[in-house]
Amino acid sequence: MKRILAVALACTSIIATAAEPAPDVSLTRLDCGRATEPWPLDSFDDTGGADGMKKAIVGSCYLIRHGERLMIWDTGIDPATSGDPDGGFFLDRTLVDQLAQLGIAPADIEFVGISHYHYDHTGQAKDFPQATLLIGKEDWQAITHDPPLGNANPAHFPAWVSGKAKVEAFAGDKDVFGDRSVKILATPGHTPGHHSLLVRLPESGPVLLTGDLAHFTANYEREGVPTYNTGRADTLASFDRFKKMAKNLGAKVIIQHEPADVAKLPAFPKAAH
């Protein structure tokens, strides 16, 4: 009898666990800068496919809610460089200001995910020094190398470089919350540790954020490789993987610098669910 009761209780526990609702997942687009003027695009395709083209581009960052847990994906430019012609971006509002409008303080952010080490994706990371930094292993090595490699800037990561905050520097993919709802995807080539992001939304379906795998629509369609990418073969392999995932999952693709793509998501402060 005791054994039967134990089995029954175990089954009840399994059923109860299976019946627990999955955490609500949402995606909010955040403003992380806009081009001060249309950018010449010649260097964005090493085959000449973008020669003579110019385009107004944007910088975009994202807030991911996983139940009560919060993650930021990319952090835009440093506000101190806003309007600098060398940087080429103007920032209207900081991430901290935008999050405050949602009732979120910097200390509420559990994870800061970085697609790659370029300045327009890392500039406000330092405003979240209590968060765990999620970044590709090779990119973190570039940031912490003496001297830094490429144009990686350790000044954007003071809490993590000093060891005062936690870093998860990983090769390959990263399942952020352990339930496949938010997955950081290895897409090297733009930088050695470049990553993209998959967010599975319960209502509107999967969304794929490119990072800088591509910078604008024609660049994505033609699989243009910028002249300054660190690995041409890696870039093309990453395009192949990303596009096959988008097709197989039926995902909405958001090219993070493409205004038309960013506009596929609800305007701030609304979120996609």
pLDDT, tens only, 152-183? 999 999 999 999 999 999 999 999 999 999 99
* Residue pLDDT, tens place only, 216-239: 999 999 999 999 999 999 999 999
The CATH number of the domain holding residue 94 is 3.60.15.10
Per-residue confidence at 8, pLDDT binned at 50, 70, 90?
very low
What distance, in Å, lies between the first and last C-alpha atoms of the chain? 47
Give 137: exposed, middle or buried? Use CB within 10 Å, 0-12, 13-18, 19+: middle
Q: Is the pLDDT of residue 18 over 60?
A: no
Supply the pLDDT for residue 196: 99
Domain count, the chain: 1
Q: Which residue has the higher pLDDT, 5 or 55?
A: 55
Query: Does 12 reside within a domain?
Result: no
Expressed as residue numbers, the domain containing 63 is: 22-262
Query: Does 267 reside within a domain?
Result: no
Residues sharing a CB contact under 8 Å with residue 228, sequence separation 6 or more, in sequence order: 43
Per-residue confidence at 20, pLDDT binned at 50, 70, 90?
low
Kindly state the average pLDDT of the residues 59-78: 98
Query: Does 134 reside within a domain?
Result: yes
Per-residue confidence at 87, pLDDT binned at 50, 70, 90?
confident
Query: Does 222 reside within a domain?
Result: yes
Query: Does 47 reside within a domain?
Result: yes
Query: Does 272 reside within a domain?
Result: no
Query: Does 8 reside within a domain?
Result: no
| Residue 45 near residue 89, CB atoms below 8 Å | no
Query: Does 175 reside within a domain?
Result: yes
Supply the pLDDT for residue 22: 81
Per-residue confidence at 86, pLDDT binned at 50, 70, 90?
confident
